Structure formats: structure tokens, C-alpha cells
Structure 1
Amino acid sequence: MQKRTLSFWEIWNMSFGFLGIQFGFALQNANTSRIFETLGANVEDIPILWIAAPVTGLVVQPIVGYFSDRTWTRLGRRRPYFLIGAILSSIALFIMPNSPTLWVAAGTLWIMDASINISMEPFRAFVGDNLHERQRTLGFAMQSFFIGIGAVVGSLLPYMFSNWIGLSNTAPEGIIPDSVKWSFYVGGVVFFFAVLWTVVKSREYSPEQLAAFEKAHQKAHPERVEVVDKESNINTQFISGVVMAVIGLGVSAIVYFRDLTKELYILFIGLLIIGVLFMLVSQLRKKEVRNGFTIIITDMLNMPATMKQLAWVQFFSWFALFSMWIYTTQAVTGHVFGTRDTTSELYNDAADWVTVMFTVYNGVAAAVAFLLPVLARRTSNKFTHLLALCFGGIGLISIYFLSSKVGLLLAMVGVGIAWASILSIPYAMLSGSLPSAKMGYYMGVFNFFIVIPQIVAATILGFLVKEFFNNEPIYALIIGGFAMILSGLLTLRVKTQKQINVTEQQ
């Protein structure tokens, strides 16, 4: 009982929705800080304005993953979430550039990021559901290709509208330029119809078929199943909760009494809440209470070992990416071009060049998407990811030393190689360690290590830039570069581990 081998065009169709998702995501990443600054945000306040979106993602992703594992409709189990997220994201993309005030823009970002996650989170599980293990690397590479293409066009749109079509890239104080507005409008349309293509052109295996595949796979690989003692697991969950709660409460107290940056509360009060939830669920499990809440919280503890090791790799690589997305506009306009006047032509030309830079790194990612699996087969996934992340880290650090537009584009080549690897190699390494019955949930939890570094970047980087670097955002990019190189080194410690049968741990 095996999944059939899909044709190239079937994999193309099931991945095509990522073109729209990344189109919208690229517009958000390249232009949100610009919108915030135009609406009156100070440089040191911009990271905290991003914070609502990842906090929402922490809640949305495991819930969407959990329910998509258990959903079955005429559209399947993953595709309904693709469609719902696309509708909500498209609406948010139309609203974002018309925000009249800063708080409206921040709220729209919250809604938009949550909606993008509703569509995006099940796409990773979609590959695991539909493809045999031998085709999954190709499936993730195809997603990376569409991510790169969508991001290239999405990032370039404001520049295209202002330089090729003639729309204004400047506007009175507090008004978003027309080139940005029309970019978001096009993004909303592309997002919806690209995802709709995948919904219409793809098919899914039924729950019964997936269960049969998993049973056959476990029979063929009995050594991959490891049952963990339930009582010991409950005690570990309680102790882990106590540790997290104590750290969260203690650091929050230090922030309060020493009057440190208030954004730090978000990180450590969140840790306190997770600790309390761990302790609560451990007690419910002792009473044999089993429901969606206890399963979601418990499975966070019972991640496969490979996933735990990859979590550190993801954390530092995505921390670097968020430092770039949050601070590149301010670093390039201020450090390289020497202006912070958002109404000036020089500022807006520099901000437009940032969209070109983002276009380059996404274009490079699309170009090398199918080359990385070839290198991985000749060497290993670990070596390939290490090499790519080192290129990316060097690219970020080099921006400090550059003074020309061409040099900035060359720096983005390294970032593009890293981006292509980040979008494919970790998922290829992870997918074989996940039980198919919980593929969606664990892919959602794995996205924690995309969201958590965003929260850390938004809380810590603003504090560091303000307190230690005299509000010079270029240093945030340097920190991000070293973090990316560190994530590459951490890849070397990832080992293939036996799959944990978490069903037996509840």
C-alpha cells in the first residue's frame, strides 16, 4: 500500500498556491515598515508594531494544523483552509495601504498575518499527505520555486509601478504612495486566484487511505516506533511547565523593577503562560482527560527528536530573516543613503531600492531551488544547509560595508541562496520523522520556530538598537548575519532519530 508517484504537473498544481501566498507575504515584508514609518512610527517602535502578528500565529498555526488533520469535506482536509485563508488575506491586502492611522495599519497586519498562516500552514502538510517520501524533496523544492517567483514580483511591484508605469512613489505626510497602494491591490487578486488554482486542480487522499499508508509504513519500518512511558511523560510535562513559569515570572519581575523596555513583557509573560498551560494539562492527563486542548499542549512536549534539533536551526535562521525584514529599509535609507526624511525623494528612492534588493534575493532563491536538492544528494542535507546559511549570513553582514546600489544587490545573492535552503531543506529533513495522522499539527508546531524568533526579534532587537547602537538599524542586520551563520553550524548536530508514537503518550 503506497502512494502513487505524481507527475511533474500534478506537483506543480498542488504547489501553485504558494505563488499567491508569497506574493502577499513579500508585499507585507517589504512595505510594512515603510507604511508604519509613513504613518508616524518611530524607528525604535517599529519592531513592536510587528509583534501582534506572530503572537496570533502562535495560536493559529497549531489549531489550524490540529483541525486540518481531522477535517474532511468535499474539498478535502487541507484545501478548505487554503481557500478561507486566501479570502481573508486578499481582503486585508486591500485594506492595509488605505489605513488612515498607525493603529489601523498595525491591526490590519495582525489580521493579514493570521490569514496568511491559515492558508500557508497546511501547505507543508499537503506535501507530506500527497507525496511518497522519495518525491517530497521535489515537492518542497517546487514550493520554494513558487515562493521565489511570487516574492520576486511582489517585492518588485512598487518599483515597477513608480518607474515603469509612472505612479507616484511619494505622497503628503501620513499618506501611502499610489505605487504601494496598487501593489497591494494586485497582490490581493493574485493571492486569491493562485490559491484557488491549487484548490480546484489538486486532489487529496481520504482519511482511510492515509491511515492505510501509515499502517503499511509502520509495518515496513517497525524500528521507527518508540513508545514513551506515560507517567514519566506527564511528570516531565509538569516539571517543564514549572521551569518555564518560573523563568517567565522572574524575568518579568526584573523588567518591571528595573524599568527595562516594556516589549520584553510580551516574550516572558508568554513563556509564563505556556508554563502554566503545561502544568494544567499534566494534571488533566493524570485524571485521564483527553480532548483537543490536552492533545495540542502535550504534543508540543512530544515532538520527534529530529524536530527538536531542527527547531534551533529554524530559530536562528528566521531570527536573521526577521531582522532583515524589519530593519533593511531603515538601514539602507539611513546608513547607506543617509536620509530619514520619509517625504523626501531620496528616502523613497532608497526605499524602492529595498524592494529591488528583496526581488533579487527572491529571484536567486527561485533560480537555485532545484539545484540545492542536487547538491544535497551529492553531499548531504546538513552540509547543503550549512553552506547556504553561511552565504546568507555573510550577505547580511556585508551591507554595513557597502555604499553602492550594485553592492547591495550582490549582498542579496547570498541571502537568496540561504532563503531557498530555509524554505526546503529543513522540511525535507523533518517530514520523514512525522506521523501522517499528525502531519498538519506538527508542521504547525514547527512553524513556532518561525514565529518565536519573530517575537524575539521584535522585542530584543528594538531594545538593543536603542540602548547599545544609538538607534542605528544597520547593527540589527549584523546581528542577524551572525545568527544565520550560527544556525548553519547548528545544522551539523541534527541527526535522524526514531519516530515517537505520540498517540501512546496521551
Structure 2
Amino acid sequence: MLEIQKKLKSSFYTILSLPATAMGFALSIQISALSWILSEKYGFHLEEIGIVWAAGPLAGIIAQPIAGLLSDKVWFWGGRRRPFILIGGVLTSIMLLAIPNMDIIGKALGQEGATVGIAIAIALTFDLAINVSFNPTRSIIADVTPEGEKRTNGYTWMQTISGTFGVLAYAIGAFFDNYVLIYSGIFIVFAFSVFPLFFIEEPKKLTSTNDGEEQSKASFLEIMDVIKPLYGFLIYAFYVIVAKVLDLPPSNIYIEIGCLVITLVAGIQVILASRNVEKDKLEFQKILFAHSFTWIGVQSMFVYMLAFAKVNVMGFEMDQEVAEVLKNNIGKIVAVSFLVLNLVGAIFPSLIINPLVKKIGQVKTHTISLAIMTLGYFGVYSLVGKDSEYLLYFFMVVIGVGWASIISISFAIMSERVDKSKMGLYMGIFNLSVVAPQLVSSFKIGQLVNSYDDKGILFLICTITLLVSTILWLTVREKKGNDNATSANTGGGHH
């Protein structure tokens, strides 16, 4: 083991952050360029774009829990997480090359240019590759850092480095173009997925920790019990998939209301059960419940920001054909918006969020950050209109406060509520609270946004879902020993 890893020096935290940065950079490319390239180069309609984006959540539901579970149990190529990071990183680089060349791939397959089917196949493979890697890139941080301050440092460093490169991604898209962004991403993703692994030594055995209870292999029934607050989202996802395969109407009001009721009932049961007892399982379930509503709003912003920029800021109709220079202007508004978002996401974790965690605790810091994000969404909905792109950028700064916490502190919070020997599995389960709501965004939210001429409805939806999430996070308890500055002053030892 290198000396920098033994002493957990800043240089080691930097190296440790690079694999997650690679996957984050790939996702930044997807967020910045995918909707734009599908709409403006290949002429896809808004609902078709939503269907292509749905490939990612579908890949996540399947791949992340499986990859996480396997990475807890296997050991080859000198590591537990290493093989998955290597395989996923290389495949992600290849798929990045495929995205701007869908029409060439289509012609090679005997199709006339890019089709929705080809786009879905590439997006699905791209997201499968990311999902194979993403879970292990985050789990490896928990594997090599102790709970408390050191663990929080690991995830805030991860977000600082990842966020900085996210800013770089959107800057490239804004000041050059999306093609330069995609092709530069191929090399960055490959390098950051492969080379850091030569400097990180993984523990051969993971310590089992969870309220002092005797540990056993996670059974299917146990996993199903843990994900109870996500039942409604998963049932909805299953229905949408079946509906698409059987060519049924993708929208059924009775199924949608039923899924919402199932989600609310399961979530409220968990909250009520935790009133008089603190158990890691119940706290983890509350985190899943709260985090799922966060991601409906966040994913909706990512997928449909292009529509908002084109209609509400630039003043065009959604399907209106515009000159090439105006297409680029729309793309730049989206790219600069996400550049600002990620700039705050890069700066805040180390400078603001980490010090605040030491004073008031992880959960309170995260809840306050989400409340600020909610206000930012409401500001965009109520104040941003035609030719007010700079006001949009201002509110993206406000929204970025919540984004900084979502992609840093939330992982530290959940990682201290699960058995460390099953960290990969639980990271995969935690990801279900991200990808299952994303399907709601890709289909139901897409239908709602598409049905309104005023695309400001997007940010009203974001406001409501983030407000619900903020309220639900108020029910989550701080981990004992992490209250206020306690964990920061104990040197980050195990609880």
C-alpha cells in the first residue's frame, strides 16, 4: 500500500476520485449533448428523446444492483471494484465514439440514417457501461476510508474533482461545440478509468458492520423488504416497459394513481415505524423514499432543459426548424446552464458543505441544500422568460447548491446506514432511488411537458418534487456519533 493511501493524503483522495470523475464526465456529456444531438442533428421529437433517455434508468435498474452485489463477492485482476471500473470505463469510451456517428452505424446496418432503435441500442449500451462502473467507483471510496470525517472527505473530494471536470465538460460544449466535447471525453474517460487503479489498493476482506447484528448473505426477500418505498416506482417502470413492448398506451391514469398510492403508503409506513426506534434499515428506507423525489425533479431538468431553452428563453415552437446558428445558441444556453450548475457543484462541497457538515451534521446540511434548490426551481418557473438567459444562469447557481449536496453528501449519509461488507449491493439499491424515478421523468413528465405549449411547466414540476423531497428528508435522523461536529472531532473512527 502506498504511503499516500495509508495516511489518506490529499493526493490519494484526488486519485481515488478519478474513476468516479470519468463516469461523471461521461454523464455530463450525455446531459449536455444527447438531447441536442438527437433533436437538432437527427430530428427526433420530444417524446422520442424521452424514450431514448429511458434506456439509462432501465440499464441502472438491472446493472447497478447486480454489479454491486458481484463486486462485493468477487476478487480478480487484483481487486474487487477494479475489474468493473476497467470494463465499464473502456466500454463507455467506445460508446461515446458511437453517439455522434449513429447515422454511419445505421447505414452500416442497412438502415437509412439514425433511427430511434439505433439510438436506444447505443444509449442502452452506453448506460450499461456507466452503470457497471459507477457503483464500484463510489463503493471503492467507502472501502478504503473509515466512517465519519474521513468518509465524508472522500465523497466531498470526489465531488470537487468530478464537479471540476463537469464544469470543463460544459465549458467545452458552450465555448466550442458538443462534438469537441464528445471526442475529448473519449480520452478523459479512458484515462481516468484505467490509470488511477494502479495506485489504489483495495482491502481483500470487507468488515461487516450494521447495528451490531449478526450478518448473513442478503436474500432476495430481504432485498425486496428494503426497497419497499420504491415499489410504486418499480411497478410503474415495469408497466411502461410492458406497454412499449405490447404497443399499449404508455399512460394509464389508474395505474399511475395506484403506483403513487403504493409509494406514499409504503413511505409513510416506514416513517411511522421509525418514530420510536432508530434502526439503520428504517433510516436507509427513509433515505430511499426522500431521494427518489429528488431525482424526479433533477432528471426532468436534465432531459427537458433543451425544450425550456428553445421555447421559453429563445421563443421558438418546440418542433420549429431553426437556422444552424440558432441551434447552436440553444445548445449553448443548455451547456452554460449546466456549466454554472456544475461549477457550484464543484466549489461548494469542500468550501461550504463540508465545513457546514462539521457544525450541524450531514442530514441537516443536505436538507437545507435541497430547500435552497427548491427555491431556485421556483425562481426559474416564476421569473425566467424570453431573452432572460442570464436570469436563468443566476437561478442555476441557486439550484447548484442542492446539486452539490445530492452528488456528494447523500452517498456519505447512506453509506453509514448499511453493512459495509455489502456496500456494493446497497450502493446498487440506493441507485434504484435514482433510476426508477428517472423512468417517471422520461415517460410521464415527458408527456406532461410535451402537452403544454409553455415549457415552464417543467420547473413547476421540479419545484413540487424537490419540495416533497425536502420535507421527507426532515424525517431522516442523523447517525449517532455524527451529530453536529462530533464525528469531525473524533478523527473519523468507526461507530
Structure 1 length normalisation: TM-score? 0.77
Alignment equivalent of 1:123, drawn from 108, 129, 137: 137
Amino acid at match of 1:127: I
- Give runs of aligned pairs for residues 417-428 of structure 1, distance below 5 A: 417-428=401-412
Cα distance 1:160–1:245, how it changes in 2: closer, same or farther (>3 A)?
A: closer
Cα distance 1:462–1:193, how it changes in 2: closer, same or farther (>3 A)?
A: same
Distance 1:453 1:483 in 2: 11
Q: Indicate conservation of the 8 Å contact 1:40/1:102, yes or no.
A: no
Q: Indicate conservation of the 8 Å contact 1:319/1:454, yes or no.
A: yes
Distance 2:66 2:295 in 1: 22
Equivalent in the alignment of 2:51: 48
Distance 1:249 1:405 in 2: 35
Equivalent in the alignment of 1:329: 306
Equivalent in the alignment of 1:494: 476
Equivalent in the alignment of 1:347: 327
CA offsets 1:430-477 (integer angstroms, 9 cap, x no match): 11222122110111111001101100111211222344x34x332122
Distance 2:115 2:425 in 1: 34
Equivalent in the alignment of 1:160: 175
Q: Cα distance, 1:482 vs. partner? A: 2.1
Matched, 1:113 2:127: yes
Equivalent in the alignment of 2:344: 364
Equivalent in the alignment of 1:277: none
Distance 1:380 1:261 in 2: 46
Cα distance 1:251–1:451, how it changes in 2: closer, same or farther (>3 A)?
A: closer
Amino acid at match of 2:359: R
Alignment equivalent of 1:9, drawn from 4, 8, 11: 11
Q: Indicate conservation of the 8 Å contact 2:18/2:162, yes or no.
A: no
Distance 2:120 2:465 in 1: 27
Q: Indicate conservation of the 8 Å contact 2:353/2:405, yes or no.
A: yes
Cα distance 1:132–1:264, how it changes in 2: closer, same or farther (>3 A)?
A: farther
CA offsets 1:186-241 (integer angstroms, 9 cap, x no match): 1111011012232122111112xx34xx3xx67xxxx542789x99x78x96xx89
Report SS of the residue matched to 1:450: helix
Matched, 1:405 2:389: yes
Equivalent in the alignment of 1:278: none
Q: Indicate conservation of the 8 Å contact 2:233/2:440, yes or no.
A: no
Distance 2:406 2:341 in 1: 13
Equivalent in the alignment of 1:145: 160
Q: Cα distance, 1:314 vs. partner? A: 1.2
Equivalent in the alignment of 1:200: 198
Q: Indicate conservation of the 8 Å contact 1:327/1:474, yes or no.
A: no
Matched, 1:68 2:71: yes
The share of aligned pairs that are identical, in percent, is 27
Q: Indicate conservation of the 8 Å contact 1:264/1:459, yes or no.
A: no
Alignment equivalent of 1:34, drawn from 36, 45, 53: 36
Amino acid at match of 1:355: A
In the alignment of these two chains, the number of paired residues is 426
Q: Indicate conservation of the 8 Å contact 2:363/2:477, yes or no.
A: no
Cα distance 1:29–1:227, how it changes in 2: closer, same or farther (>3 A)?
A: same
Gaps of 5+ in 1: 162-178, 272-301, 499-506
Amino acid at match of 1:319: I
Amino acid at match of 1:427: F
Q: Indicate conservation of the 8 Å contact 1:98/1:181, yes or no.
A: no
Cα distance 1:246–1:348, how it changes in 2: closer, same or farther (>3 A)?
A: closer
Equivalent in the alignment of 2:22: 20
Amino acid at match of 1:24: A
Q: Cα distance, 1:246 vs. partner? A: 13
Matched, 1:306 2:283: yes
Cα distance 1:155–1:148, how it changes in 2: closer, same or farther (>3 A)?
A: same
Distance 1:142 1:260 in 2: 46
- Cα RMSD (Å) of the superposition? 3.3
Cα distance 1:159–1:342, how it changes in 2: closer, same or farther (>3 A)?
A: farther
Alignment equivalent of 2:377, drawn from 396, 401, 405: 396
Alignment equivalent of 2:460, drawn from 462, 465, 478: 478
Q: Indicate conservation of the 8 Å contact 1:381/1:429, yes or no.
A: yes
Matched, 1:380 2:378: no
Matched, 1:102 2:115: yes
Gaps of 5+ in 2: 104-113, 260-278, 481-495
Matched, 1:225 2:207: no
List, as ranges, runs of 4+ consecutive aligned residues in structure 1 with deviation greater than 4 Å.
243-252
Q: Cα distance, 1:95 vs. partner? A: 0.7
Q: Indicate conservation of the 8 Å contact 2:14/2:161, yes or no.
A: no
Equivalent in the alignment of 1:87: 90
Q: Comparing 348-357 with 488-497, which one deviates more in the overlay?
A: 488-497
Q: Cα distance, 1:263 vs. partner? A: 5.7
Equivalent in the alignment of 1:295: none
Cα distance 1:357–1:244, how it changes in 2: closer, same or farther (>3 A)?
A: closer
Q: Cα distance, 1:248 vs. partner? A: 6.6
CA offsets 1:56-104 (integer angstroms, 9 cap, x no match): 1100001100110111123311011111101000000011011111322
Equivalent in the alignment of 1:446: 430
Amino acid at match of 2:372: F
Cα distance 1:250–1:92, how it changes in 2: closer, same or farther (>3 A)?
A: closer
Equivalent in the alignment of 1:171: none
Amino acid at match of 1:26: S
Distance 1:206 1:393 in 2: 43
